Amino acid sequence: MAARLVAYTAVAGISVGVVSLAWWCRSRCRVVWRSETPGKPEGALKGLAFSTKSSAGKEGGKVDPRDHRPREGFLSWDDYFMAVAYLSAQRSKDPHKQVGACIVSNEQIILGIGYNGFPRGCDDAQLPWAKCSDQDQLLDTKYPYVCHAEMNAILNKNQASLSQAKLYVTMFPCNECAKLLIQAGIKEVIFHEDKPSLPASTQPRGGMMVRATSFACTMQRTCKHR
């Protein structure tokens, strides 16, 4: 009986310890998140401006608890996945250009995301980020080392095949990335084009459909594209 009581007491003590540790970790995560985003109490997602329309269509209005209609003003699939691409671009350390990419299946499931940066294990502070050098030396620029967002999205895939998948990317892919996308089996590329005078292209290129999409998000203003 005494041994059983001791066992129960030990289990109770362990449970209390686990709960206490969980609450401590949660509080620490909040502190770290807030401390890493000075001036942004809501974190980096502060820049995203989403609609809060109720089913009645009123901005910020209270929703009738008896209202069975779905909410209006929700994100389209194109806006949703392009927002993920722009969020990924925020991870890039490139001072000149931040690009994000998101690969999506036919079932609207994210298969891979990526952003432009140096390979794993390479010191971001040691390799050059410059676009040109005084001596016109290619090795003194970022171009021999950087991995593009599309490449990283393909390499970060969570399944064996990307056949018939779609790619959302914040900038039109370069020639090298276009070849990778074709070889990976990507069927469609959706890029954000900030020049409304250019019509969207729907002509197949190397087996892929390419089209531009309009995307309005305040986060894109923080990403350098030129």
Sequence-distant contacts of 126-134: CB under 8 A, at least 24 apart: 129/93, 129/94, 129/95, 129/96, 131/96
* Whole-number Å distance between alpha carbons of 74 and 77: 10
The total number of residues shown for the chain amounts to 226
In angstroms, how far is the first alpha carbon of the chain from the final one? Answer: 75
User: SS3 for 123?
Assistant: coil
Amino acid at 165: A
Say whether 150 is catalytic.
yes
Catalytic residue among 107, 150, 188, 193: 150
Show which residues are catalytic.
150
